[in-house]
Amino acid sequence: MRNRCLFLGLWLIACPLAMRAQQAVAKQNFALLPDAPQLQAQVQQRTPALNSATTNSSDSLPPDSTGETLTRQQAEQLALKNNPRISIAALLALAQKQVVRETRSSWLPKLNGKLTAVDAEEASRISAGSLDGSRLLYHVGAGVDLNQLITDFGRTRNLVASSSFEAKASEQQSQATRDDVVLAADIAFYNALGAQATLQVAISTVKARQAVGDQVNALTASKLKSTLDQSFAQVNLSQAKLLYLDSQNQFDAALADLNEVLGTAGNQQYQLVDGQSPPLPVAPSAEAVIALALQQRPDLLALKLNHEADVRFSRAQHEQLLPTISGLGTVGITPVGSSAYFSPNWYGAAGINIGVPIFDGFKFRAQATEADLRAKASDEQGRVLINHIVRDIRTSWLRANTAQQRMSVTSELLQEANTALDLADTRYRLGLSSIVELSQAQLQQTQAQIAAVSARFDYEADLAALRFQSGSKP
């Protein structure tokens, strides 16, 4: 009885130790995965506001630029570093690589250590619920079981190939996510840059119309201009202030969008810097861009890899109907137990097991048919994506080509508007025209400035979209 209690106690101590060892290994493997970047807490706040409309001094306007400088390349780097979508895609790609290891483990031997201690009534051979009578004997034993797959006629090989293709597809999806984040950063940057330039136009407009208003007020006080001119000047100034308020709101909203893409939770302010070099010309035709996209678009490559994975999985499902040959082995000792049933030294055995599926209710055939249909569907999805790519590239090329032409047209429009304003200002100072003509020239110049700014940065954004559609790196 004392020996029985001793061996039962050893068995109860060994089980928790083995479980803790497995948990420690799992924690060590999980620690190898990268952590998602933490959101940066930003405390810098900016709350510019235009003074009341009754204030005539231009000192009420905020400074032209605040915050740290930021170029497009810096915005892309920050987005790739801090945007959580990048971390999510990388973690999913790493997780898919572990699936390859999981599948490949079927080729490796399985070793299971066992420690058993049983205290049973002598000669009780059958227990309720199971007819495993060999365990219903007083004994203590320890041993190792071996199970090695010899061949399953290609099923495991195709499963490993399928998971490998899926892992490569996950890497391409991760790259597609990076390209998508870069595009979002470019679009947000150019939108904010256009809003910043429009805000600068609004500030310049307020200052210019404030100066005209001050001159008209002085001339009106000297009885050289009528109160009608003074009223028109005040109306023009009020319109300029409204333009400033709208521009400031659009700039703040564009910065909020930019901070979201950059992975910043706070209201970080930037002074956006445009590239010194002129924008590149658009590709001469959409056909060259389409040919390039069909070769290097990561999402298209990922879909092709997924189709290959489906094809190999379909083969593996068909091979479920083939036999499986495995090698089995066991060895151990039984130091405590009846000599009538247990060897006092050690026990061991080896053998080969052949499993042949005979009838499973048509389950394997249904799974094979399902895999075939899914493989055909993934092939059709590739055709759908190709059609979408061709359509998106053609529309992106048309937008970029039109935006390139709009830049030259708006540049000429701005030159003509500046010339018209100079003439209208000279005629008004000489008393040859009314303030209505001057106001109209001022309005046309402001509209031309905003149109020129919008055309420039719209073209930059369209080029970024076309670059993304072709799969090219920025």
Q: Enumerate the domain spans of the chain.
A: 71-106+153-320+361-470
**pTM of this structure:** 0.79
The DSSP code for 261 is: H
Lowest mean pLDDT among 131-135, 244-248, 428-432, 449-453: 131-135
How far apart CA 404 and CA 231 sit, in angstroms, is 40
33-40: average pLDDT: 36
- Return the bridge partners of 358, or none: none
314-332: average pLDDT: 93
* pLDDT for residue 3 is more than 70: no
277-287: average pLDDT: 85
Q: Does domain 71-106+153-320+361-470 have CATH number 1.20.1600.10?
A: yes
pLDDT at 50: 37
pLDDT at 127: 52
pLDDT at 397: 95
* pLDDT for residue 212 is more than 70: yes
Instruction: Report whether 99 contacts 166 (CB < 8 A).
Output: yes
Q: How confident is the model at residue 253 (pLDDT cuts 50, 70, 90)?
A: very high
Average per-residue pLDDT for the chain: 84
The answer for residues whose C-beta is within 8 angstroms of residue 5's C-beta and 6 or more apart is: none
Lowest mean pLDDT among 44-48, 171-175, 191-195, 262-266: 44-48
- Helix/strand/coil for 348: strand
- Return the bridge partners of 15, or none: none
* Cβ density class 38-64: b for 16+ within 10 Å, e for less: eeeeeeeeeeeebeeeeeeeeeebeee
How far apart CA 198 and CA 455 sit, in angstroms, is 12
Instruction: Report whether 316 contacts 197 (CB < 8 A).
Output: no
Choice between 435 and 387, residue whose per-residue pLDDT is larger: 387
Instruction: Report whether 247 contacts 204 (CB < 8 A).
Output: no
Q: How confident is the model at residue 421 (pLDDT cuts 50, 70, 90)?
A: very high
β-pairing verdict for 270-272 and 68-70: parallel
| CA angle at 95 for the pair 89 and 100, rounded to the nearest 5° | 130
* pLDDT for residue 391 is more than 90: yes
* pLDDT for residue 54 is more than 60: no
pLDDT at 222: 86
Q: How confident is the model at residue 53 (pLDDT cuts 50, 70, 90)?
A: very low
* pLDDT for residue 28 is more than 60: no
Residue 348 corresponds to which tokens in the numbers above? 């061991």
Lowest mean pLDDT among 35-39, 102-106, 169-173, 356-360: 35-39
* Sign, Cα dihedral of 440, 446, 451, 456: positive
Lowest mean pLDDT among 293-302, 335-344, 386-395: 335-344
pLDDT at 103: 94
Lowest mean pLDDT among 295-304, 307-316, 343-352: 343-352
Q: Give percent above pLDDT 70 in the chain.
A: 82
Tokens 């009020």 sit on residue: 238
